[in-house]
Structure formats: structure tokens, C-alpha cells
């Protein structure tokens, strides 16, 4: 009798669980009200509407910052506050993330990402910049510096992606698992909290406001589907021959407690890039710009000093 009762209630139980776990996209108007700032604009670049933040004196030395997988331009907020008095700073949500949203072409290849970055700099009229990239954005940064050496004055790589031996590269290169499409419909915040806590060297530094922002941006219209599309298109190969062509002086910033991209990768990047140096952040994880922003940005500011 009990089994029959449970069987009869099963559709209701599934419906209740589905309702409880359902995580719909947020309306764009809601996100604009929370995150749009006075220096933000939408620019038509290479067939996509990029959400761009351009702040600081237009005549000051320019810095372009590229965020990582699943993040948005707000990851750089504290660094921007510290650097904007001496620099012009350009941040944008990479295609498929944040308020930029999906790329209408459906392409999220490295080649497409580099083309968009080159087109953005041309549109704004920046011929030579300091380029900063974190994780996935770090890979785009060193690829861009190798392909367009005259466009990059100095390069900063924060826990960059690129070597096939690291965990995220292996996972991303393998493509989304069978359960991944569920992310389009459900994304429990507790799982996001756990994921971010792993990215911190000291999880006690993780604040609820940061988790809420990641949650909001991942629920921007179409972003989760775009994230899965990008994931399925990522391919990682040995980067040494490309890294050897990077001519810009390069700063490699790495946390000693990075559990996302193992710290031993830092030396591999330093060995491959001719003019490079490593700066370690003791006890810090994969997101130094968020976990310990003032200490990490001081190292970068010194390196980028005009």
C-alpha cells in the first residue's frame, strides 16, 4: 500500500522538485538595473553587441582586461578602482557571458574571440595596449599577444589557461558531460557557492554578494546555453610554440593555493615565454583579483607603470 501510495505521488514529487530547482533566466532589465554603470555602453563589434565598460582618462595609457570562464567584467572591479587614476581601462563581457550574451554566429572558437578583440580595439582606436587576462581570458590574452605583437605593450596573465595537462583544460577539452544541458533549467546557488569556494585559497574570504553576482550573470538571457556551446567548442593543444613568439614583457600572477589551474603551470608558462616573470600570491586561489584584490593589484600596478 505504501509503495502504491508513493508511486501515485511520484508525479507530484517530481513536479515539486522541478519547481524548487527550476532556475529561469533573469530579465535583462533587472540585470541592467543592478549592474549597468555610467561608463558602460553596448558596441556593435564584428556582428555582436558587446557590453563594454570604458573608464579613466582617454589619453592615459590603456589597459584591456579579459575575464575567465563563467565570469563577467565585474571580476575586475577592485583592480579598476586601484588603476583608473593612472590608466584608461577597458573591460567587456566576453561573448556568451554576462550582459553581452550569446554570439549570434554561434561560434565561440579562439579565432572568433581574437577577431572580436582586434575589432574592438580598432573600433575604439587603440593601437597598443597593456593586456590583462584571467584563466580562459588569460589564454585569449597570450594568443592575442602572439598574433598581434605590435598591439600589446605589456602582458599580464593571471592563472592563465593553455596547457592541456591542467584540470580545467582536460575537462573543457572533453566537452560538456551528459548532464550539462540541465544547467539551462536549474542552477542551485549552493552548487555555485561550492564551486566558487574551491576557487578561493581561503573560502572564508568569499562573500555572499560575489556569489549573487555570479548567479545573476550566469542567469542573464541565453548565457547558460552559450556557455555550453563554448564548452563544446573548446580545444586545447600544446601552446609552447605559440608562447615562444610572445614578445611583450609578461607578468605571470599565480596563487599558491590555486585548485583550478595547478600552480606548477606557472613555471611552464615562464619557461615558454621569453621575457616573463612570476609573482606568487601566498595562500591565494584561482581568483586573486577578487580574493585578495589590493595585494594582487599592487603587483600589477608596479609592472604596468607607464
| Among the listed residues 44, 37, 98, 39, the one whose alpha carbon sits nearest the alpha carbon of residue 66 | 98
Cα–Cα distance, 53 to 72 (Å, whole number): 11
Q: What pLDDT is stored for residue 306 in this prediction?
A: 76
CA quadruple 115, 119, 39, 216: dihedral, nearest 10: -20
Residue 71 φ/ψ region, left for φ over 0, alpha for ψ in the -120 to 50 degree band, beta for the rest: beta
Cα–Cα distance, 103 to 46 (Å, whole number): 10
- Cα dist from 134 to 31, 80, 104, 117, 182, whole Å: 23, 14, 24, 15, 27
Please calculate the CA angle 124-130-136 and round it to the nearest 5 degrees: 95
Asked if residue 63 lies in contact with residue 87, where contact means CB atoms within 8 angstroms, the answer is: yes
| Among the listed residues 140, 163, 120, the one whose alpha carbon sits nearest the alpha carbon of residue 230 | 140
Residue ranges covered by each domain of the chain? 29-303
What is the distance, to the nearest Å, from the Cα of residue 56 to the centroid of all Cα atoms in its chain?
22
* Phi, psi of 247, rounded to the nearest 5 degrees: -100, -15
Q: What pLDDT is stored for residue 14 in this prediction?
A: 34
Q: Going by C-beta distance under 8 Å and a sequence separation of 6 or more, which residues neighbour residue 14? A: none
**128-178 pLDDT tens trace:** 999 999 999 999 999 999 999 999 999 999 999 998 755 454 455 555 666
Mean pLDDT of residues grouped by 10 in the chain (306 residues)?
35 38 88 96 97 97 97 98 98 98 96 98 97 97 98 98 64 58 78 94 96 96 93 86 98 97 94 97 98 98 93
Asked if residue 68 lies in contact with residue 140, where contact means CB atoms within 8 angstroms, the answer is: no
Q: What pLDDT is stored for residue 4 in this prediction?
A: 32
Q: What pLDDT is stored for residue 10 in this prediction?
A: 34
Q: State which fold the 29-303 domain adopts.
A: Rossmann fold (3.40.50)
Q: Which three cell numbers, joined as nine digits, stand for 304?
A: 604596468
Q: Which three cell numbers, joined as nine digits, stand for 186?
A: 536549474
Q: Going by C-beta distance under 8 Å and a sequence separation of 6 or more, which residues neighbour residue 138? A: 66, 68, 157, 158, 159, 160, 161, 162
Whole-model pTM: value is: 0.90
Amino acid at each position: 500500500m505504501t509503495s502504491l501510495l508513493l508511486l501515485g505521488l511520484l508525479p507530484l514529487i517530481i513536479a515539486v522538485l522541478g519547481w524548487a530547482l527550476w532556475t529561469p533566466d533573469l530579465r535583462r532589465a533587472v540585470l541592467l538595473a543592478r549592474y549597468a554603470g555610467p561608463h558602460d555602453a553596448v558596441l556593435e563589434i564584428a556582428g555582436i553587441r558587446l557590453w563594454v565598460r570604458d573608464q579613466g582618462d582617454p589619453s592615459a595609457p590603456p589597459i584591456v582586461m579579459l575575464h575567465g570562464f563563467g565570469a563577467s567584467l565585474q571580476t575586475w572591479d577592485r583592480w579598476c578602482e586601484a588603476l583608473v587614476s593612472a590608466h584608461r581601462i577597458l573591460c567587456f563581457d566576453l561573448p556568451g557571458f554576462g550582459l553581452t550574451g550569446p554570439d549570434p554566429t554561434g561560434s565561440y572558437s579562439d579565432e572568433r574571440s581574437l577577431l572580436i578583440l582586434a575589432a574592438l580595439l580598432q573600433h575604439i582606436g587603440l593601437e597598443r595596449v597593456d593586456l590583462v587576462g584571467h584563466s580562459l581570458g588569460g589564454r585569449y590574452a597570450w594568443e592575442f599577444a602572439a598574433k598581434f605583437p605590435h598591439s600589446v605593450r605589456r602582458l599580464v596573465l593571471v592563472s592563465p589557461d593553455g596547457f592541456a595537462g591542467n584540470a580545467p583544460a582536460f575537462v573543457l577539452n572533453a566537452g560538456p558531460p551528459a548532464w550539462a544541458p540541465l544547467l539551462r533549467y536549474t542552477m542551485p546557488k549552493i552548487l555555485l557557492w561550492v564551486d566558487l569556494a574551491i576557487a578561493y585559497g581561503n573560502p572564508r574570504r568569499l562573500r555572499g554578494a560575489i556569489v549573487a553576482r555570479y548567479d545573476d550573470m550566469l542567469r542573464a538571457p541565453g548565457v547558460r546555453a552559450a556557455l555550453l556551446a563554448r564548452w563544446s567548442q573548446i580545444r586545447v593543444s600544446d601552446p609552447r610554440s605559440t608562447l615562444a613568439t610572445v614578445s611583450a614583457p609578461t607578468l605571470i600572477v599565480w596563487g599558491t593555493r590555486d585548485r583550478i589551474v595547478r600552480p606548477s603551470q606557472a613555471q611552464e608558462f615562464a619557461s615558454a615565454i621569453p621575457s616573463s616573470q612570476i609573482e606568487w600570491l601566498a595562500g591565494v586561489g584561482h581568483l586573486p583579483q577578487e580574493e585578495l584584490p589590493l595585494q594582487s593589484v599592487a603587483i600589477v600596478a608596479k609592472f604596468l607603470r607607464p
